[in-house]
Amino acid sequence: MAIQPISNEKCLGCELCIYACPVDVIRMDMSSKKAVTIYPEDCMCCALCEDECPVGAIYVSPEKHDPLMVSWR
């Protein structure tokens, strides 16, 4: 759903995707110096990160599944 895990092999660690995301889904993993999808549940499928990535390490599918509506959380 929505943003898929970023390819660790392809990622250059350039951070362009982090600045492209309007909703702070992607952060840097400081140990590997690669971008990771740390809050994928908040992805809004805008695909700006995919557009921005210079090496095709990101794919955003148009499907999105919200969490179940429950009594409290």
Partner 1 sequence: MNCTQHFGCDVLVIGGSTAGCFAAVTVKENGLDVIVVDKACSGKAGASIMASGFWAVFNPDWGMDYDSTLDWINKNSSYLNNRTWTELFLQESWGTYLDLKAWGVKFPVPEEEMADFFRKSIIGDDKAGHHKDDPHTHYGIVPMRHRAMPPALRRYAESIGVRFLDRVMITDLIKKNDKVVGAVGFPMDEDSCYVIQSKAVVMSAGRNYFKPPGMNISGQTGDGDAMAYRAGALISGKEFPDMHMNIAKDPMWKGNGEMYPAYFQFDNALGMRIPNKGFDLSLASTIHAGYGPIIWDFDKATENDLRSIHEYLKKRGNSKEIERVGIEPGKGGQYPMIGGAAAGGCQEHTAGLWPVDIDCSSNIEGLYSAGDSCCTWMWGAIIQGPPPGLSPAAITGKRAGAGASRYAHEAAAVELTCNDISIFREHAFGYAERRSGFSPRWVIQLLQNYMMPYFVLHIKQGNRLIATLELVRFLREHMVPRMYSTGTHELRLAHEAENMAINAEMILRSSLFRTESRGWHFREDFPSEHDDEWLAWTLMQQDETGKMYVRKEPIPKEWHPETGTTYTSRWLAWEHPHNIN
What does the binding site for partner 1 look like in residue numbers (CB under 8 A)? 2, 16, 19-24, 27, 38-39, 41-42, 44-48, 51-52, 62-64, 66-67, 69-70, 72-73
Minimum CB separation of residue 38 from partner 1 in Å reads 8
Minimum CB separation of residue 8 from partner 1 in Å reads 21
Beta-bridged to residue 36, according to DSSP, are 27
Question: Is residue 56 within 8 Å of residue 64, measured between CB atoms?
Answer: no
Question: Is residue 18 within 8 Å of residue 30, measured between CB atoms?
Answer: no
Q: Which is nearer to partner 1, 7 or 18 (CB)?
A: 18
